[in-house]
Structure 1
Amino acid sequence: MSGFKDVVGHKDIIQYIQTAVKQDKVSHAYILNGERGSGKKLLAKLFAQTLQCENGEEEPCYECHSCKQAVSGNHPDIIKVTHEKPNSIGVDDIRVQINEDIQVKPYNGKYKVYIVPDADMMTVQAQNALLKTIEEPPAYAVILLLTENAESLLPTICSRCVMLKLRNIKDTLVKKYLMENLQIPDYKADVCTAFAQGNIGKAIMLANSEHFNEIKDEAVSLLKNIDDMELPELVEAVKRVSVYKIEITDYLDILMIWYRDVLLYKATKNIDRVIFGEQMEYIKERARKSSYEGISTILEAIEKAKTRLKANVNFDLVMELLLLTIKEN
């Protein structure tokens, strides 16, 4: 059972939450915005548990009846909004689980807390339905919207919520956590920290992943040889990558980090900050061959590929287009 003291980083957000609870100045709606693995769910859970704790402290006590209910996932006044469709939260999800339910007063405590993971998946109709509730909420209601991209929400929703932005955590804190809490050896902690880029959740996932080294090796092999690959070989490469569909974001992040290394070396000739230090021969060669514009085009293409795959565009088509863009630049 973890409290705010166990959260890595985000001290400003934690202080804000604890001050709001202590001074009884809790808002009716918050947006916790940060990339996947940044700690949104943990902070939302701790926020909800603190609000419901019967001792009224700045941390959940884990001893009162309310805290025990929260830990078991059975607290009647902490509601996690779910959705059946994998990539969208529909208007009925919001109406049934928030708008209608919110009219019922809390069963136990002072608050009724609604946690909405993936809130940026709400359809426009769902957002408009939620807006009516956010505009005139009951005094006991607290709605926590968890997003990776708050800009996808309607401006009217954003303007009525307190925005809490989760920043990247310092590498030193990430590495320390991996070594002390997960007993990850020094060299592996360095690699996971470098690839996580300040995202503690991602660092933990990489440290525990059996596939990460495979994915990294596959990506590096492609990048080292793509200049000499013809179209049939690119198609074959896409087939190999399709094995990692579930971890495709990690694969694309590896490509992105490689080209950031290329850009960094091309601009500064500094090898100390290059993550793929063991591949310097190939990094230098790519920096020599590619223009700044070409590298920028590739980085933009990787971001576009992420967006398209999230939107369920055909996997093979997206990846073939990306590899062709990389080869051409």
Structure 2
Amino acid sequence: MSDLDLQNQLKKHLNDSTAASYLISGGQVLIRLNAALDFAALILGIKKATVANSTDFSLICDDYGIETIRKITHALILKPYGHSKKVVVVKEAQNLTLPAQNAFLKILEEPYPNSVIILTAENTKQLLPTVISRCQLIFLSTQKSGLAEEKSYSNETIATFKAFLFGSLVERLDSVNRKLKDIEKLSEFLEIWIEILRDNLIENIDRVKPDDFKKARASIQEIKRAQSLLQANVNSRLVWDFLALNLPAMNYHF
């Protein structure tokens, strides 16, 4: 399933009228979470990159007991602050304990006004049938194309990227000097770096601090500026130096 296919599928669900709860299954864990964030952005009417910072968005992903249900209740009991709805995403809901699922059922049966709950699950076999029946189902294709395509990066590429992202200016410039033999590969590196940043932000969205989230977005913009410089035939070494000087220093390591 391509990005466009997914967007069209999600928009169709909204056009058919927004339900109170959805269950996204199929595909891989990162693909499901990515789809849930896309859907949350559409519901809130904001850009996907800003979803995690929205006061009307909550992500549940680190506790699957009764305490999780309390978190969901706390998130939804208040009226939306900056949007028409509040959205809660429960990542990999099949991990919810049986008592938690039974408690969760009450929220699904009597949803809070102006609220939307999005569950993701590897499969539906570990969820109570009554939980499933209260959700609109969205199934993602598992074929390896578009969003579902596996990505792999060489250790060298990731090491070079980390030297820039997390290193000091001296370390960044040293990395440039050591990578001069690959200077013509810069355009290829930049595209991969954007993919690495985006993939890891999505996969670890629950652990990224707001300040580092902003820096990651700024890094993507600087990398895109570097791509524009290359397309304008600016010397590759100068573009390397531009990146070394302009990429924000981040504290978040993946």
> Does the alignment reach a TM-score above 0.5?
yes
Residue 28 (structure 1) aligned to one of 17, 20, 45: 20
- State the Cα distance separating 1:118 from its structure 2 match: 1.5
Q: Structure 1 pair 29/209, CA: closer, same or farther in 2 (3 Å)? A: farther
The aligned amino acid for 1:80 is L
The aligned amino acid for 2:22 is Y
Q: Residue 48 of structure 1 corresponds to which residue in structure 2? A: 40
Q: Residue 10 of structure 2 corresponds to which residue in structure 1? A: 17
Structure of greater Rg = 1
- Answering whether residue 69 of structure 2 is matched by residue 94 of structure 1, we say yes
SS at match of 1:92: helix
- State the Cα distance separating 1:37 from its structure 2 match: 4.3
Q: Residue 79 of structure 1 corresponds to which residue in structure 2? A: 58
**C-alpha distance in structure 2 between counterparts of 1:10 and 1:168, whole Å:** 16
Aligned residues of 1:10 and 1:167 also touching (Cα < 8 A): no
- State the Cα distance separating 1:109 from its structure 2 match: 1.0
Aligned residues of 1:120 and 1:150 also touching (Cα < 8 A): yes
Q: Residue 162 of structure 2 corresponds to which residue in structure 1? A: none
Q: Structure 1 pair 74/52, CA: closer, same or farther in 2 (3 Å)? A: same
The aligned amino acid for 2:90 is V
Give structure 2 stretches of 5+ with no counterpart. 156-254
**C-alpha distance in structure 2 between counterparts of 1:114 and 1:69, whole Å:** 15
User: How many residues are matched?
Assistant: 156
Aligned residues of 1:81 and 1:114 also touching (Cα < 8 A): yes
The aligned amino acid for 1:49 is A
Aligned residues of 1:10 and 1:166 also touching (Cα < 8 A): no
Taking only aligned residues, the RMSD between alpha carbons, in angstroms, comes to 2.5
The aligned amino acid for 1:112 is K
**C-alpha distance in structure 2 between counterparts of 1:165 and 1:104, whole Å:** 30
Give structure 1 stretches of 5+ with no counterpart. 1-6, 54-59, 178-198, 211-329
**C-alpha distance in structure 1 between counterparts of 2:120 and 2:131, whole Å:** 13
Q: Residue 275 of structure 1 corresponds to which residue in structure 2? A: none
Q: Structure 1 pair 166/15, CA: closer, same or farther in 2 (3 Å)? A: same
**C-alpha distance in structure 2 between counterparts of 1:128 and 1:48, whole Å:** 25
Aligned residues of 2:7 and 2:38 also touching (Cα < 8 A): no
Aligned residues of 1:38 and 1:168 also touching (Cα < 8 A): no
The aligned amino acid for 2:33 is K
Aligned residues of 1:99 and 1:130 also touching (Cα < 8 A): no
Q: Normalization by structure 1: what TM-score? A: 0.43
**C-alpha distance in structure 1 between counterparts of 2:102 and 2:4, whole Å:** 31
Q: Residue 266 of structure 1 corresponds to which residue in structure 2? A: none
Please list the CA deviations of residues 279-319 of structure 1 after superposition, one character each: whole Å capped at 9, or x if unmatched: xxxxxxxxxxxxxxxxxxxxxxxxxxxxxxxxxxxxxxxxx
Residue 146 (structure 1) aligned to one of 92, 108, 120: 120
SS at match of 1:30: strand
Q: Which has the higher contact order (CA 8 A, sep 6+)?
A: 2
Q: Normalization by structure 2: what TM-score? A: 0.55
- State the Cα distance separating 1:103 from its structure 2 match: 1.3
Q: Structure 1 pair 165/209, CA: closer, same or farther in 2 (3 Å)? A: farther
SS at match of 2:125: helix
**C-alpha distance in structure 2 between counterparts of 1:155 and 1:27, whole Å:** 18
SS at match of 1:151: coil
Q: Residue 227 of structure 1 corresponds to which residue in structure 2? A: none
**C-alpha distance in structure 1 between counterparts of 2:140 and 2:49, whole Å:** 28
Aligned residues of 2:27 and 2:141 also touching (Cα < 8 A): no
- State the Cα distance separating 1:21 from its structure 2 match: 2.6
**C-alpha distance in structure 1 between counterparts of 2:29 and 2:50, whole Å:** 25
SS at match of 2:58: strand
Q: Structure 1 pair 157/22, CA: closer, same or farther in 2 (3 Å)? A: same
